[in-house]
Amino acid sequence: MAVFEINATALQKDGKIVGDMAVLRDVTARKRAEEKIQNLYEQEKKERLELEEEAKARAQFINVLAHELRTL
């Protein structure tokens, strides 16, 4: 599906509207690129949160291990 952007303006001469002008621009590629960037951002965010949870679990494991080694 194509996505378009339209800009329109009235043309005036001596204070009277004598016509109009419109520019229609196909922005499909830009919208697809924006969606791709958004999807990549969401994926990165999810993976970053997973890595942070893994880092917390590893730190907790190391703390428990260090405690056990000290109490031997």
Q: Determine the pLDDT at residue 1.
A: 86
What's the domain range around 28? Answer: 4-70
Specify the number of domains making up the chain.
1
Tokens representing residue 33 in the block:
């690129």
Q: Determine the pLDDT at residue 9.
A: 96
DSSP letter string, 4-34: EEEEEEEEEETTEEEEEEEEEEE-HHHHHHH
| Cα–chain center distance at 63 | 37
pLDDT in tens, 17-72: 999 999 999 999 999 999 999 999 999 999 999 999 999 999 999 999 999 999 98
